[in-house]
Chain A
Amino acid sequence: MRYFLVLIAVFIVSCSDSSQETKDFSIKDKKEFIKSKDFNENKNVYFGDLHVHTKHSFDAFIFGTTNTPDDAYKYAKGGTIQHPLGFDMKLRQPLDFYAVTDHGFFMGMMPAWADPNSKPGQHPYVKTLHNVNRKENLTVESSPERLYYFRELIRSGAFAELGSIFSIIKAYLTNNNSFAVDVFDYDTHKSAWSDVANAAERHYEPGKFTTFIAYEFTASTEGMGNLHRNVIFGSSKVPIRPYTRIDSLNPEDLWNTMDKWRENGIDSIAIPHNSNGSNGRMFEIHKANGSTMDTQYLNQRIRNEPIVEITQVKGTSETHPLLSPNDEWADFEIMSTRVGSVPPTYSRPDGSYVRDALKKGLMLEQRFGGNPYNFGFIGSSDTHTGASSFDESNYFSKVGILDGTPVGRGSIPIPQEQLDFINNLSDEQRDIYNYVDYDGQKYMRAGFDEWGASGIAAVWAEENTREAIFSAFKRKETYATSGNRILLRFFGGFNLDDIDLNSSSLISELYKRSVPMGGNIINSNNSIPNFIIWTKKGVNGANLQRAQIVKGWIDDRSAEPFEKVYDVVCSDGQEVDQVTQRCPDNGARVNIADCSISADVGDEELKTFWSDPDFDPDLKAFYYVRVIENPTCRWSTWDALRAGTKPRNDLKPTIQERAWSSPIWYIP
């Protein structure tokens, strides 16, 4: 008995609140050979991806990904790495910044479970996973088995089964619930997190290539409403472990933790993503627990979440045709279901899209005096292979073995041999791995057909360093693209009509006299706000067709929100129709037979000065820019073209790639 009590005493002393323990991962003797020579007070544009999974994510490894964070950074810098199905992946142009954001919960556990020699691999629940990613197992035919084991692992209750009473107590005392889960191993978990952090430090080259230590907080509501966020740290000093959905499913608890980290000198931001799959829960008008919002909530949310991911492989979350019936470009890469729902379940649009959230933000500001949705935009990929897939003509999607082939992602019919294979599967496996009929042909039924080659995070920053880019996130001087590297400047202010758009001092003048994207402009003698929009096509993109302003505002008495889309500059010298606020058709077309596009239509550059024709100085409003390219083939059409099959009738054959600026808000 005495021995037992001594043991307890030692045990208790060894416990402390692990969510607030920190570690500095910076490399002490690291030399910075590439000095920052591109410092530009008028800011440079940098392109990156802030949403990348590697083998440390359970749902990446199970579908064949063995690429490490080091591999991911190698890819971002322009190197070649391998897809789980064996082909090479390489970017057309290297990126300027990248963040590996593996799922925080059970980070690193899946590779350990699959290793028959590891301690975590001995648990009875995980033995089905042994050697799952040995080379000979990396085949398309392994897909149903992987899906089946994955589902069974979740269904088995392995993630919820509690360990010994000691581990439960340890979890309680250290505020680390993961300890209580029997299949969890803290050493493995911390070692994976160290690998993520160390790789970010190793690959950071100030002035040339920026990395961020980061992870994904993968919370969801009951009924699979997606509340995922990526947590991006601004420094090399970070917590010793990620704060995850095992700690809490409530994003407010994440923000509390981030606030505490900030008090201890660790700055971070959380970037919500896939609001489209949240079933209306990402951008609500009350708190997650249903209670009324208050100033503390509003301020805390926007303090921790200054930007959102508006587009990624699992669809674009700008707006939905049901929410924006008068916006002809609203039906763009819509993913209709909740993230991870099996069977796929419809996601309610209201509360799931960012334009709607911007409008709700104005309403909440009117009611409570604070705006939780005063956010800017970025895009990112959410790849689960370590490698972003941005190129429609060379698309490899997201989930490794499952969607790494045209058949797997449902763009071409299933060959007879594979149909036989599926027909011979067990009923249980066919529940999750099966096909559907479209137009007399059989295609995989997985929902991957609603995914796409998107998106990119763009920032305007003084130099390519972690400090400068992180600071751009916080002031929202960011924009998103659906995969191409469109260049976009956007400024707002008053009395800008005397500015010479062709002056070489245009940008420095605009920084002096107006605010860039992400800023606020405050009523100045009831003057009409002016905006400057300047955009150029990306080097591998199609020509630009039009630039638009999306405006949202609320009635000052009823607080009813409104929105309107204005074409503000058209390509090919055409004029905007002042009644419809639309450009005429520029005639750009795509030949679906070979994916060729109209030559000499559209512009390389669009630049204009714009004043709001419907301005009311008393009404709160936001304005953001949307740039639309000429149409090009969608990835599914490219897949069909290469396979010599007909593109599916129910999928859009073409896409108009685009960019979205962060908004500028008008405050009366």
Chain B
Amino acid sequence: MKKKIVILLGVFIGFLSLFYGINISQKSSIYISGPEIKNLINIWEDQTGRPPIKKEIDMIIDNLIKEEILYHEALKLGLDQNDKIIKRRLIQKLEFYKESENLNKVKEENLIEYYNENIDFYKLNKRYSFKHIFFSDPKNNYEDIKLDLLDTENISNKEIGEPFIHGDSFIDKDKTAIDSDFGSGFSENILNLENNIWYGPFKSIYGDHLIYVFEVLPEEIIPFEDAKQSVIINYSDEIKNEVMNNYIYSIIDKYDVIIGEYK
């Protein structure tokens, strides 16, 4: 780093002696964007019901150039300073633009209010903990197997059934998670089983399963503090939409809205 600074200072001193005092004339550039021209052409067409001819397009571009030049000159002369109309317009633009930044500074009470109003988003679904015994080929003695399991409730059931690639025990799985592991709709089999009893067989896309539910956790509301990050995300989404909608509703009366044929 030090070496870089020494090198640079040397280069600077050299260049300063060369350039100091030289007045480089600068030419401002004006850029007229394609979409802007196209947009004005479309507006012309909407207004008059016909596309502009070459001469008229030239006039549109000419006007844009003049507008840009006058705008730049006005800025150079400082005519934008202390102009109430420009001030108000800029403040309005800034307020609109800053909405997104304000989201980072949302107040806790807004979040709590949003959380309470949308409490359904912050619920944990009913969750099931269960074990299962898997048979890739259907058996015809499931009732006997279940009786055996009853007799040997406290001993391991390791010798019955086949290993399942997802494992034998599933903890705190909701409906979607169960369907993810066993296939769509499989969870329906489990939803209303009594605890600590072997049920089945139930068919999954892989084969037959005997199921033993040992814990069911009810639907639960996540406390605000724990859900806060999700609340911030959802609240921010809503505010963004609200800001846009409010803005649109505030100006929509100025337009006649015409929707084209689409059927």
Chain A interfacial positions (CB closer than 8 Å to B): 1, 4, 8, 12, 16-17, 27, 29-33, 37-38, 40, 42, 44-45, 70, 74, 78, 93-94, 117, 124, 127-128, 130-132, 137, 145, 165, 169, 172-173, 202-203, 487, 489, 502-507, 534-537, 539-540, 604-605
Contacts and interface: CB of A to CB of B under 8 A. Distances in A.
A603 to B, nearest CB: 9
Given A504-B161, A605-B206, A173 B5 contact: yes
Contact of A539 (B136, B182, B236): B182
A252 to B, nearest CB: 22
B205 A539 contact: yes
B176 to A, nearest CB: 7
Given A78-B176, A93-B180, A173-B5, A536 B228 contact: no
B238 to A, nearest CB: 13
B205 to A, nearest CB: 6
Contacts of B167: 40, 42, 44, 507
Nearest to B32: A127
A604 B31 contact: no
A124 to B, nearest CB: 5
B205 A502 contact: no
A559 B166 CA distance: 41
Contact of B205 (A30, A38, A169, A604): A604
B206 A38 contact: no
Contacts of A27: 229
Nearest to B30: A124
A173 B226 contact: no
A127 B31 CA distance: 8
A172 B206 contact: no
Given A17-B1, A173-B1, A503-B163, A33 B222 contact: yes
The 5 closest A-B pairs by CB, nearest first: A33-B226, A31-B226, A127-B33, A539-B183, A124-B31
Given A70-B236, A124-B31, A504-B163, 16 more contacts: A30-B228, A31-B225, A31-B228, A44-B167, A70-B233, A124-B29, A127-B31, A128-B33, A173-B4, A489-B165, A502-B162, A507-B167, A537-B206, A539-B180, A540-B184, A605-B206
Interface in B44-88: none
B227 interface: yes
B35 interface: yes
A504 B158 contact: yes
Give the size category of B's interface with A.
Answer: 35 or more
Contacts of A33: 222-223, 226-227
A534 B226 CA distance: 39
Contacts of B228: 29-31
Contacts of B153: none
Given A128-B33, A536-B206, A539-B182, A505 B158 contact: yes
A425 B228 CA distance: 52
Contacts of A505: 158
A8 B12 contact: yes
A31 B9 CA distance: 51
Interface string B1-45: 100110011001001100010000000010101111000000000
A640 B93 CA distance: 47
Nearest to B11: A169
Given A31-B225, A31-B228, A44-B167, A537 B205 contact: yes
A459 to B, nearest CB: 14
A196 to B, nearest CB: 15
A608 to B, nearest CB: 14
A534 B31 contact: no
A605 B163 contact: no
A124 B8 CA distance: 30
B229 to A, nearest CB: 5
Contacts of B97: 117
25 contacts: A1-B20, A17-B1, A37-B171, A38-B172, A42-B167, A45-B165, A74-B233, A93-B180, A94-B176, A117-B97, A124-B31, A130-B33, A173-B1, A173-B5, A203-B233, A502-B162, A502-B163, A503-B163, A504-B158, A504-B163, A504-B168, A505-B158, A539-B184, A605-B136, A605-B207
Q: Which of A37, A127, A539 has the most CB of B within 10 A?
A: A539
Nearest to A78: B176
B84 to A, nearest CB: 20
Contacts of B29: 124
Contacts of A132: 35
A1 to B, nearest CB: 8
A487 B207 contact: no
B232 interface: yes
A346 to B, nearest CB: 34
Contact of B229 (A130, A202, A504): A202
A30 B227 CA distance: 9
B106 to A, nearest CB: 13
A172 B4 contact: yes
B163 A506 contact: yes
Contacts of B8: 12, 169, 172-173
A328 B9 CA distance: 65
Nearest to B129: A37
B207 A604 contact: yes
Given A31-B225, A128-B33, A539-B205, A202 B158 contact: no
Interface string B160-200: 01110111100110001001111110000000000000000
A27 B228 CA distance: 11
Contacts of B12: 8
Contacts of A127: 31, 33
A117 B232 contact: no
Contacts of B226: 31-33
A604 B158 CA distance: 22
Contacts of B9: 8
Contacts of B205: 537, 539, 604
Given A8-B12, A12-B5, A534-B165, A604 B136 contact: yes
B76 to A, nearest CB: 16
Contacts of B34: 128
B94 to A, nearest CB: 9
Given A78-B176, A202-B233, A130 B166 contact: no
B165 A605 contact: yes
A30 B229 contact: yes
Contacts of A124: 29, 31
A487 B229 contact: no
Contacts of B223: 33
Contacts of B180: 93-94, 539
A487 B165 contact: yes
A516 B172 CA distance: 27
A427 B15 CA distance: 47
Nearest to A204: B229
Interface string B193-234: 000000000000111000000000000001101111100110
Contacts of A17: 1
A30 B233 CA distance: 13
A132 B36 CA distance: 11
Nearest to A12: B5
Contacts of B207: 604-605
A67 B171 CA distance: 34
Contact of B171 (A38, A131, A202): A38
A539 B31 contact: no
Contact of B181 (A30, A173, A203, A539): A539
Contacts of A165: 15
A93 B206 CA distance: 18
Nearest to B7: A172
Contacts of A130: 33, 35-36
Nearest to A537: B205
Nearest to B133: A504
A263 B179 CA distance: 44
B4 to A, nearest CB: 6
Nearest to A191: B101
Contacts of A32: 226
Contacts of B162: 502, 504
Given A17-B1, A172-B8, A604-B205, A202 B232 contact: yes
